[in-house]
A = this chain, B = another copy of it.
Amino acid sequence: MRATIKDIAREIGVNVATISRALNNKPGVSAELQRKIQKKALEMHYSPHGQARGLVTQRTETIGLIFDSETSSFLSNPFYGGVLAGIESELRRHNFSLMFSSTGGHKLDSVADLPKFIIEHRVDGVLIVGSIDERNIRLLHEVQLPMLMIDYHLEENPIDTVIVDNRRAGKMLTDYLVGLGHRHIAFVGGRPLDEGNFYERLCGYRDALQEHEIPYRRELIQEGELEGGYESAQQVLARAPEVTAIMACNDANACAAMRAMVSKSLRVPEDISIAGFDDIAAAAESWPPLTTVRVDKCAMGRTAAQRLLQKLKNDDTTPPYETVFPTEVVRRASTAAPRK
C-alpha cells in the first residue's frame, strides 16, 4: 500500500486538512510546518491519489482523444501521428494525461456507446481528430463535455476547431506549378471529392486556375480511392496526354502516382511533374523527393491541446471559433518546368 495523507498526518501529529493544505501550497499553514510536512511526504514516497482527489474536485486532469476510423489506419497515418505527438507533449507539459480510443468506425446509437473513458472515466475534455460522423458529435454534445475538433470542418453543430487552410494550400501549390510554366495540371485521388479536406484543396486549385485565366477542365480531375493514386494517375493521363503536372490529394497518393509514372517509363520531373500535400516523412525520402505542401502537424496538435485546456479554465464562455493553420509549399525535385 502506498502512503496516504492520513499516514503523514499521523506521523507528524497534525490533521489531514493541514497536510492537504501544506502539500498544495494553500494558505493557512506556517512556513516551518509546511517544510516539515513536505519533507516527510518525500520520505514516505507519498503521491496523491488521483481518484480520491478527482472525486471531490470533479476533475480528472485527463483528456480523451477519439477518432472515427480504425485504430490501425489512424495510427499509420503519418499526418495524425504528428498531430498526436504535439498533443501529447503539450498535455504532458500541463500535467494532463491522455486517453485515446476509436469509435470503432461505425455510428454509435447512444451515449452509452461512446468510449468508456468519456462516459465513465469522466475526462475533462475531448479532442476529436479527423472526419467523424455528425451523429456521434451530437452524442458528445449530450454529455456536455468541452471539446475541440482537429482537421475536420463541421457545418451544422458549431464547435471549436483547429484546421488547415486547405483551400489556400491548394491554391498555393497550383500557383507554384503555373509559375513553373505548367498549363495542363491534373488533380487526382481522394474520395469523395465533393466535401472534406480534399475538396477544399481542389477548390484552391480552381481558384488558382481562374486567377491565371486557365480554363478548368473536368476531365483533368480523377477521383479515386484513398490509396489509389496509382490508377487515377494512369487514367487521367490516358484521357489527357497533354498533362505536364499532376497534383495528388495527399503525399501517399502522390507517391503512388510517381510509381505509376515509373511503370510507364515516364521520368519525374523531366517528363512530368508531381506534387502532393502534407509533407509526411515519406515525401522527403521518396525518389525523387516530393514537392508538397507542409503544415506543422506538431504545432497544430500543441495548439489544439492548448486551446482545449484554456476552455476548461475559462468556464467556456467564448463562442466557438476556428483556428486555421497556414501552409507553405516545399519545393523538391519532383517538380520542374515543363519541357514544352
**Interface, chain A (partner B; CB < 8 A):** 2, 45, 47-52, 54-55, 60-62, 70-72, 74-76, 78, 81-82, 84-86, 88-89, 92, 95, 97-102, 104, 111-112, 115-117, 119-122, 143, 255-256, 258-259, 262, 281-282, 285, 287, 298
Q: How far is the CB of A263 from chain B (nearest CB, A)?
A: 8
Contact partner of A49 among B2, B88, B120, B255, CB < 8 A? B120
Which B residues touch A115, using CB under 8 A?
A: 92, 97
Give the CA-CA distance A111 to B82 in the complex, in Å: 29
Jot down 9 A-B pairs with beta carbons below 8 A, ordered by A: A2-B143, A45-B111, A55-B55, A62-B99, A72-B82, A81-B81, A88-B102, A92-B101, A100-B100
| Contact present for A262 and B287 (CB under 8 Å) | yes
- Once A52-B55, A122-B49, A282-B282 are accepted as A-B contacts, the answer to whether A97 and B75 lie under 8 Å apart by CB is no
Which B residues touch A112, using CB under 8 A?
A: 47
Which B residues touch A61, using CB under 8 A?
A: 116
| Contact present for A97 and B85 (CB under 8 Å) | no
| Contact present for A62 and B285 (CB under 8 Å) | no
Sorted nearest first, the 7 A-B pairs with minimum C-beta distance are A72-B85, A75-B81, A50-B120, A71-B85, A97-B117, A51-B51, A50-B121
Q: Which residue of B lies closest to A84 (CB)?
A: B75
Contact partner of A62 among B2, B52, B76, B121, CB < 8 A? B121
Q: How many copies does the complex hold?
A: 2
Q: How far is the CB of A176 from chain B (nearest CB, A)?
A: 25
Which B residues touch A100, using CB under 8 A?
A: 88, 98, 100
| Contact present for A60 and B71 (CB under 8 Å) | no
Prevailing SS type, chain A contact patch: helix
Q: How far is the CB of A86 from chain B (nearest CB, A)?
A: 8
Contact partner of A122 among B51, B72, B262, CB < 8 A? B51
Most chain B CB neighbours (cut-off 10 Å) among A81, A115, A119:
A81
Give the CA-CA distance A60 to B101 in the complex, in Å: 16
Q: How far is the CB of A122 from chain B (nearest CB, A)?
A: 6
Q: Which residue of B lies closest to A91 (CB)?
A: B101
Which B residues touch A298, using CB under 8 A?
A: 72
Which B residues touch A72, using CB under 8 A?
A: 81-82, 85-86, 298
Most chain B CB neighbours (cut-off 10 Å) among A85, A97, A122:
A97
Most chain B CB neighbours (cut-off 10 Å) among A54, A61, A70:
A54
| Contact present for A97 and B88 (CB under 8 Å) | no
Most chain B CB neighbours (cut-off 10 Å) among A48, A49, A112, A262:
A49
Give the CA-CA distance A2 to B100 in the complex, in Å: 22
Most chain B CB neighbours (cut-off 10 Å) among A60, A71, A78, A84:
A71
Give the CA-CA distance A97 to B118 in the complex, in Å: 10
Q: How far is the CB of A218 from chain B (nearest CB, A)?
A: 29
Q: How far is the CB of A138 from chain B (nearest CB, A)?
A: 14
Q: Which residue of B lies closest to A95 (CB)?
A: B116
| Contact present for A255 and B47 (CB under 8 Å) | no
Which B residues touch A143, using CB under 8 A?
A: 2
Contact partner of A98 among B47, B89, B101, CB < 8 A? B101
